[in-house]
Amino acid sequence: MMIKDDGSASHVEGAEEGESHGYRTFASSEEAEAALALFQNTEELHEPMDPEKEKALVWKIDKMILPYLAVCYCFFYIDKTTLSYAALFGIQEDLHLRGTQYNWLSSLFYFGFLFWALPTNFLLQRLPVGKYLGINIFMWGFFLMWQAACKNFVSLAILRVLSGAAEACADPAFMLITSMWYTRRQQPIRIGLWYTANGLGIAGGGILGYGIGHIKGALASWKYEFLIIGALCASWGVVMFVFLPDSPVSARFLSKEERRMAVERLRDDQTGIENKTLKPYQIREAFCDMKVYLFFLLGIVCNIPNGGISNFGTLIIQGFEFSTLATTLLQIPYGIMISLSILACVFVNDRLPPNSRCYMVVVFMIPNIAGAFGLMYVRQEQHIARLICYYLTGPYNAAFVLILSLQIGNVAGHTKKVVTNATLFLGYCVGNIAGPFFYKTDERPTYTLGIASMIFCHLAEVVLILALRFLLSRENKRRDKLQEGVQRDLDATAFGDLSDKENTNFRYIY
């Protein structure tokens, strides 16, 4: 027997029982998951899966998905820091930037991101994910290269907005791809592996910045920064367009048996694979769901510090009285620390009892809070101590990885996933837009208000993540009590594209 709550009746009662095996099929093929096209009946869903074959399949998927996402994410963060390195190489003087114009250039990128976040998420649902992502990555690199031709604030501002719009699909696409290919248990490690490239991007950006700083050509160093990194990004966009599969259902690198296995192993998660039909009721449900607003707030408080550090990190280090080229190299340990903290976080979490993710977020916020307090109160002449405090602000990236895994693991229904992704990254945009404005030019190099904003946001993040844990834990207990003594029919709901609210077989992770 399958238990339905009131919120699900109107959507599930439209389903018809299959003629054989009692398997639930949908009156309209558009309503069902695309994954069901791989199966003719319920017996195929229950064919025993050889553990060795599944292990080999996961390894094949890892090789097919993770390198593309990781390299792209490395460029993603290198791109974030190009403006910061351009500031070191004299862009403010060459373009005659005055007052808060540099801050605005940092934030305008996210205005483009913000403007295009919701449309690009709906396009991700309607279009082949791999192809759409590849096109956007190419355009993002193309706009970055054009920034080298800018002569003034206005032209650079326009291209920053366009670059942000092109990049708006990147994180949501990565999260959709991860949820399509991996179980909820596997998602934190896989997100961690591609997000680790964030730290490698910081380190790689430092190496590239150091090398570019030594170019003695006809152009200013900051122009080479935009041209070289933009060309690399655009080239990788072409690679992703050609080779990144769109979904497990259509992956040409897998045999039909492997595609079935890739789908069937996600059955118990109850989150589905992919559905191209936009469902208005899931949009309404998303905006009535408290956890969606918590993810929005988490997006803000996690990224106000990021918006400041990614654009002012090099200037903070330079304030410790290091030279310009030494400053570029000192970003390398920061990037390495971020990568190591992400890997430590996801692998330790994988070995802890279920539902430890929120507590792990809190644990990995402790170094950030300590580092931010150190930057606030350690005396300015103690350069090495302040540099160590700066490095301690990196592990917030590890905490954000687990927040991303909580978001994709706790939302079902493809349309609702798209809306929730967009909402989280709207918060991401708001945080990154606001962040640079806490770093006032007249407070350079200590940036007292900017550091205070980091402390406040980190503490707020701890409160929000504990509130999310309470909310999800309470709902699981309610559902367990509702289904007490009842055998849960997972087949009836696994690939019906039901939302987490209407599917009472769904259990939240926290």
Domains in the chain, start-ordered, CATH in brackets?
Answer: 57-269 (1.20.1250.20), 279-482+496-509 (1.20.1250.20)
**What per-residue confidence (pLDDT) applies to 232?**
93
CA distance 294 to 170: 22
- Tally Cβ neighbours within 10 Å of residue 249: 20
Q: What is the mean pLDDT of residues 488-509?
A: 80
**What per-residue confidence (pLDDT) applies to 38?**
65
CA distance 450 to 439: 5
**What per-residue confidence (pLDDT) applies to 18?**
35
3-state secondary structure of 250: coil
Phi-psi category of residue 99: left, alpha or beta, with phi > 0 → left and psi -120 to 50 → alpha = left
Could you tell me the pLDDT band of residue 189, with boundaries at 50, 70 and 90?
Answer: very high
Helices (H), 393-447: 396-409, 414-434
**What per-residue confidence (pLDDT) applies to 494?**
62
Phi-psi category of residue 21: left, alpha or beta, with phi > 0 → left and psi -120 to 50 → alpha = left
Tell me the pLDDT tens digit for each residue of 292-333: 999 999 999 999 998 888 777 777 887 787 777 788 788 888
Contact 260, 44 (CB under 8 A): yes
Could you tell me the pLDDT band of residue 272, with boundaries at 50, 70 and 90?
Answer: low
**What per-residue confidence (pLDDT) applies to 9?**
33
Query: Which among 55, 493, 30, 2 has a CA at the least distance from the CA of 258?
Result: 55
CA distance 132 to 320: 43
Tell me the pLDDT tens digit for each residue of 455-485: 999 999 999 999 999 999 999 999 999 988 8
- Token digits of residue 72: 């792209």
